[in-house]
């Protein structure tokens, strides 16, 4: 798996430089730390290979690009208010200090297509990917560059499912709540660890 950082594939408009405030932020941060502890989102040098988000009334709150999940703080989170798909390049309107995760378009599309989903977690769970066939989870057909529209389309083609693997890349886990999305990713991680013995 090669996932070199090449920068975000969209334009970002900062509506304000205010980091998001929401009562669920603490819970998201708890899961960010757990992803780091369990190596579900290993470092690629400039940040952790993974991104977590939850839906709010105003859009969704997501980890910023180049963020280390183990030491994430409120200032590393970004509120994505809306994405304008009509421009030459998708334009993301945000509130916060950082640029949003490079997978923000994917999160946005998944929230749109899954109205019952309120939390999305993406990690690079190596153990799950090594045992993906035995686990029987849906996998995208082709490897696509991260942050691309092609990757987004591959993932959307697997719907409906709350858990999937992006070929040679990582996992996506979704739930009605932050806890549900997190627990689902742990369930597959633990199953994979048993297969690994």
List residues binding Zn ion (CB under 5 A).
Answer: 170
Q: Provide, rounded to whole angstroms, the least separation between the CB of residue 132 and Zn ion.
A: 15
Burial string for 54-78 (b: 16+ CB within 10 Å, else e) reads bbbeebbbbbbbbbebeebebebbb
Nearer to Zn ion, 83 or 165 (CB): 165
Q: What is the smallest separation between the CB atom of 146 and Zn ion, expressed in angstroms?
A: 5
Residue closer to Zn ion (CB basis): 47 or 170: 170
Residues 119, 185: contact at Cβ < 8 Å?
Answer: no
Cβ of residue 169: shortest distance to Zn ion, in angstroms? 6
State the nearest-atom distance from the C-beta of 112 to Zn ion, in Å.
20
Q: CA-to-CA distance for 71 and 76, rounded, in angstroms?
A: 9
User: Closest CB to Zn ion among 29 and 121?
Assistant: 121
- Closer by beta carbon to Zn ion, 22 or else 143: 143
Count CB neighbours of 4 within 10 A: 8
Among all residues, whose Cβ is closest to Zn ion? 170
User: Is there a cis peptide before residue 62, judged by omega within 30 degrees of 0?
Assistant: no
C-alpha separations of 141 from 60, 105, 156, 168 in Å: 28, 20, 12, 10
Minimum gap (Å) between residue 135 Cβ and Zn ion: 18
CB nearer to Zn ion: give 107 or 131: 107
């Amino acid at each position: 798996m090669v996932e070199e950082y090449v920068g975000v594939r969209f334009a970002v408009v900062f509506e304000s430089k205010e980091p998001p405030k929401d009562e669920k932020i603490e819970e998201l941060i708890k899961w960010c730390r757990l992803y780091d502890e369990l190596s579900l989102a290993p470092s690629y040098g400039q940040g952790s290979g993974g991104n977590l988000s939850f839906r709010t009334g105003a859009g969704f709150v997501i980890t910023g690009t180049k963020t280390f999940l183990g030491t994430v703080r409120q200032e590393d989170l970004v509120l994505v208010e809306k994405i304008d798909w009509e421009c030459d390049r998708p334009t993301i309107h945000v509130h916060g200090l950082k640029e949003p995760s490079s997978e923000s378009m994917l999160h946005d599309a998944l929230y749109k297509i899954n109205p019952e989903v309120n939390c999305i977690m993406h990690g690079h769970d190596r153990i799950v990917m090594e045992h993906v066939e035995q686990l029987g989870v849906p996998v995208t057909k082709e490897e696509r560059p991260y942050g691309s529209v092609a990757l987004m389309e591959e993932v959307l083609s697997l719907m409906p499912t709350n858990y999937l693997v992006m070929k040679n890349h990582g996992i996506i886990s979704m739930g009605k709540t932050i806890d549900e999305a997190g627990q689902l990713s742990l369930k597959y991680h633990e199953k994979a660890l048993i297969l690994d013995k």
